[in-house]
Amino acid sequence: MTHEIEPKRPRLTINRSPIPASPVHPLAALATLLLDNVSFAVEALEIVDPFLMPLTWFTVGVIDAITVTLVQRYLAEDEWGPSLAKGLVMGIIAGVPTSVTGTAVGGLLLAWAGLHQWIQLPSSAGKPDNEDH
């Protein structure tokens, strides 16, 4: 037996949650929620001519699609394919002419991501790390 001090190995901590991870990054869900409400505000306040509203919806959808794609690619570190797919779907949702869809989907995904982080299962190795010294 040697009396050398061995360095402690870092313990691998795994966050266990009964709720699976959200399919999109929380910032992407927040962008969808906010951009959907911008579209609704423009429509409700009649800032834009009613004949230009389809252009507004299209613009909001494109901006959201680009935002979600970039967030998924660089923050969530998805590959380009899944990032583009998620961006396209969220962009279509944000571009729908009613505020209900983007707000509901964005809010639910944001809540899902928050619950995944907030609700954790207790560690399976509930015993302390006691080593003989």
Give me the residue spans of the domains in the chain. 26-117
Report how far apart, in Å, the C-alpha atoms of 20 and of each of 17, 61, 111, 117, 125 are: 7, 27, 12, 10, 21
Per-residue pLDDT band at 2 (split at 50, 70, 90): low
Distance CA 11, CA 55 (A): 54
Running DSSP on this structure, what letter comes out for residue 44?
H
Q: Is it the case that residue 105 has pLDDT exceeding 70?
A: yes
Phi, psi of 119 (to 5 degrees): -95, 110
pLDDT at 123: 59
The percent of residues in the chain predicted with pLDDT above 70, rounded, is 78
- Please state the rounded mean pLDDT for residues 70-86: 96
Query: 126 or 51: whose pLDDT is higher?
Result: 51
Cβ neighbours of residue 128 closer than 8 Å, sequence gap 6 or more: none
Query: Using an 8 Å Cβ cutoff, are 91 and 64 in contact?
Result: yes
pLDDT at 61: 94
- Concatenated DSSP letters of 55-105: HHHHHHHHHHHHHHHHHHHHTS---HHHHHHHHHHHHHHHHSSSHHHHHHH
- Please state the rounded mean pLDDT for residues 107-123: 78
pTM passes above 0.85? no
In whole numbers, what is the pLDDT of the chain averaged over residues? Answer: 82
Q: Is it the case that residue 71 has pLDDT exceeding 70?
A: yes
